[in-house]
Amino acid sequence: MTASVRLATPDDLDRLWQLETTCFSDDDDRFSRRQLRYLLTRAKAITLVCGDETLWGYATLLIRRASGFGRIYSLCVAPDARGQGGGEALLEALEAQAQSLGLDQLRLEVRVDNDRALRLYQRRGYDRTAWLDDYYSDGCAGWKMIKWLTPTAPAPQPETQEPGR
């Protein structure tokens, strides 16, 4: 399985929806078809996909040019495609898009129990900067993470463990 990444189009909607329902079982954490359509057609966002006939990964970057940062809104890889470099390829491509737009930093939130994603983000230079208690619909906490894209940016003050530990 190669990790070729391309921009998503509205023609990808059905395959994105199928991927979303495969990866996220909780309706509160899963995008609706309507939300996916909005991200593809109207939002100030970039959505990238991996795969051809069957999409096995996607990532969405929300763009806030006036603020200088972008938010990685979703990064999703099908369960049977995990561990093969697709997530890293998508993240690297999003970072390149952000840099080409002149953004200074990327922000994201990630579940504390998503060890694979946490390792990926830390490997790519993201720092944990805030604990988000009871952040997800099932009560799971999260980490806010930031990566500075410009070399002169201030170093964030990372948190390294959960509160109370």
- Tens of pLDDT along 107-135? 999 999 999 999 999 999 999 999 999 99
Taking 90 as the threshold, does the pLDDT of residue 162 lie above it? no
What are the domain boundaries of the chain? 5-148
Q: Minimum mean pLDDT among 9-23, 51-65, 82-96, 99-113: which range?
A: 51-65
For residue 159 the two structure tokens come to 């948190």
Q: Which segments within the chain are labelled E, that is strand?
A: 5-7, 45-51, 55-64, 69-77, 105-111, 127-132, 142-148
Q: Which residue do the tokens 């805030």 mark?
A: 130
Distance CA 118, CA 116 (A): 6
CATH architecture of 5-148: 3-Layer(aba) Sandwich (3.40)
Neighbouring C-beta atoms of residue 135, cutoff 10 Å = 17
**Model pTM?**
0.87
Across 64-69, average pLDDT: 84
Tell me: pLDDT of 136 over 70: yes
For all residues of the chain together, what is the average pLDDT? Answer: 89
Give the number of other CB atoms < 10 A from CB of residue 87. 23
Dump pLDDT digits (tens) for 32-62. Answer: 999 999 999 999 999 999 987 789 999 999 9
Other C-beta atoms closer than 10 Å to the C-beta of 8 total 22
